[in-house]
Chains A and B, each alone.
Chain A
Amino acid sequence: MSDVATKARTRTVPAGGDYGYANARIRGMRSRLLDRSYLDMLIEAPDVKRMVQDLADTEYGPDLEETLIHGVDAANVDIALKNNMVRTFQKVLGFLNDDALYLVTTLLGRWDVFNLKTILRAKHMHLEVDEIADGLLPAGQLNEVDLEALSSVEDVRAVVDTAATWGLAFTAPLREGYTEYMKTGDLVSIELALDRYYAEWASRRLARRGANAKLARRVLATQIDVGNLVMVLRLQKEDVEDIDVADFFLPGGAIVGIDLYQELAGMSDIDEVLDRLRGTPYGRTLDEAATLFLEQNSIAVFERALEDLLTRRTLGLAKGDPLGVGVSVAYLWAKQNEVTNLRIIVKGKAVGMPTSRVREELILV
């Protein structure tokens, strides 16, 4: 854990709230993001090989070169894209000022939670360290070395103890969930505790004064709302009984509080939920996705539409806040969206997905 602990000490960037340096660098990096016409060209490429040739001339070149030694296929391109994203995120975190670093790492804390959950799952299943690495994405505060060290411990108990020794923010939910895990042998309790804690912890950290914290809070709140809305829709589709829906509620949303969440979860069907949400900022998006839902009978349709909304809103922040943390946050979201788009295009081509379906899945902003 030494890396995370000493990160602040070893950084040589402007301290405090000077955003000029970081934003200038990010604007440079943003100019290298791939535009819509480039993605269109990739979609029309005849095969994955040609896509890789085209991508080799972009920012992704070095990562592709390193990974594709093992063969040019969609799986290796996926690894290269992941490596590029991780590298870019770590690079951005490296030059942010203290204020921005605090806000951005709070937002990226979801990746730390994701990685912790992966390690817990792997330990629960007694997997080898090499196998665990395939399920990790060190885009948060815990870097590759930290995660490797955490992956090397013996069991779930040791992960919880190591997190406590390192003083990780997520020690409390790990301990809380571990007690339940000991009783049931089921990881769900730890995972739920982690997800809930992250929402509370991040909301608390971002409850600061100032325009930058407010902006980060808006991103987080929208993200939590999206999570809660998808959860409600999943509960409606599953039509499960004997579960307490409140267990799956994440606090800290902007619109979907516990009362609305429970009201929505208690409704008779998805149509009623959509009716109730009409008039909220999510109503139109969900209504538009409803037709596709009727065709496909998949909640993923709503989830993708809400992800689209979240991405567009977050990217819009840079325009509204050209001098603050909005630039960094929007860039990181844009980068993640670009990687997702590229993955969809490459995978779509590899499995022979129709281009119309590929375009449906893309979030083009």
Chain B
Amino acid sequence: MEEVRPTRSELLERKQQIALAEQGMDLLKQKRDALLIEFMGVMDETLRLSESLQKTVAEAQYSLAVAKAVDGTVTLRSAGMATKSEIVVDMTGTKIMGVSVPVVTKGESPIRSSFTRGYAVTGVTSRVDETADKFERILDVIIEYADIETRLKRLGEEIQKTNRRVNALEQVTVPGLKEQVNYIRQTLDERAREDLFRLKKVKKKIERKKAAPRTS
């Protein structure tokens, strides 16, 4: 236990600290609950996007396999050389229950039409084109997924942090303060008893002194 001065002012201070800690703990618990509600919502969205991503990837891989089989790797490589594009992603931030969360938004959809992929559509089969389309859809979902996953991660971290704080207050700080209050209270009581005893002794002594000249 840290060194505590067993004084009445210290006792009052500790009591105030306990009240403050309990108030803080309640607030943190409320924050944690609110974050958990938000987290569950984001979690549902993450699961939905994760399934969507898995499905899109599987479809794209299958399309690629069919295109490679029917048109040949040479054709795919040639078409691949024609397409060049950059993906513009906007990064901003927002706050959820005071938690800073990055927001990733698509500047421009990575899904292009057959006429804007960089090759002349007349020279590329629809198999290759549809494969390109499916891979662009993967990029589209990945950007959405990156946004939601980062949000989920941040919220998870914040929930953990809040939980640690609540636990620290609940398990360490408040019991510690209460122990100190008990100690101060006991010490003060002890001191009061000692004072009372001493006063009684002094009183007895005085009374004895007063009685002595009468007897002498």
**Interface residues of A, Cβ cutoff 8 Å to B:** 75, 78-79, 82, 113-114, 117-118, 121-122, 124-125, 127, 132, 134-137, 186-188, 191-192, 194-196, 227, 230-231, 233-234, 238, 240, 243, 248, 250, 298-300, 302-304, 340, 343-344, 346-348, 351, 353, 361
Contacts and interface: CB of A to CB of B under 8 A. Distances in A.
Contacts of B129: 234
Given A234-B126, A303-B125, A118 B70 contact: no
Contact of B122 (A135, A231, A343): A231
Contact of A231 (B119, B121, B127): B121
Contacts of A191: 82, 119-120, 122-123
Contact of A113 (B121, B123, B125): B123
Nearest to A199: B122
B72 A234 contact: no
B212 interface: no
B9 interface: no
A118 B84 CA distance: 14
Interface of B: 61-62, 65-66, 68-70, 72-75, 77-78, 80-82, 84, 113-115, 118-123, 125-127, 129-130
Given A82-B74, A121-B78, A134-B74, A361 B69 contact: yes
Contacts of B81: 118, 121-122, 124-125, 127, 132, 135
Given A136-B74, A195-B123, A361-B70, A353 B118 contact: no
Nearest to B126: A299
A304 B121 contact: no
Contacts of A304: 70, 127
Nearest to A249: B122
Given A134-B74, A351-B65, 8 more contacts: A121-B78, A135-B77, A135-B80, A188-B119, A191-B82, A248-B122, A298-B130, A347-B68
A303 B71 CA distance: 12
A300 to B, nearest CB: 4
Contacts of B114: 234, 238
B130 A114 contact: no
Most chain A CB within a 10 A radius of its CB, from B113, B118, B123, B127: B123
Given A234-B121, A303-B125, A187 B74 contact: no
B153 to A, nearest CB: 33
A188 B77 contact: no
A122 B123 CA distance: 16
8 contacts: A75-B73, A78-B72, A188-B118, A191-B120, A240-B113, A243-B115, A300-B125, A344-B70
A347 B69 contact: yes
Given A121-B81, A121-B119, A348 B69 contact: yes
A230 B74 CA distance: 21
Given A187-B118, A238-B113, A344-B69, A298 B126 contact: yes
B136 to A, nearest CB: 14
A361 B66 contact: yes
Contacts of A351: 61-62, 65
Contacts of A238: 113-115
B152 to A, nearest CB: 32
A299 B129 CA distance: 10
B55 to A, nearest CB: 15
Contacts of B130: 298-300
Contacts of A114: 75, 78, 123
Contact of B121 (A248, A302, A344): A248
B148 to A, nearest CB: 27
A45 B163 CA distance: 59
A127 B84 CA distance: 12
A195 B74 contact: no
A353 B65 contact: yes
Nearest to B119: A191
A78 B73 CA distance: 7
Nearest to A117: B123
Nearest to B67: A300
A233 B129 CA distance: 13
A236 to B, nearest CB: 12
B76 to A, nearest CB: 8
A51 to B, nearest CB: 13
Contacts of B68: 78, 343, 347
Contacts of A186: 118
B137 to A, nearest CB: 14
A137 B130 CA distance: 22
Contacts of A132: 81
Nearest to B127: A300
A192 B73 CA distance: 22
B125 A117 contact: no
Nearest to A137: B74
A125 B86 CA distance: 14
Contacts of A137: 72, 74-75
Contacts of A300: 66, 125-127, 130
Residue of A132, A191, A231, A243 contacting most chain B CB atoms (<10 Å): A191
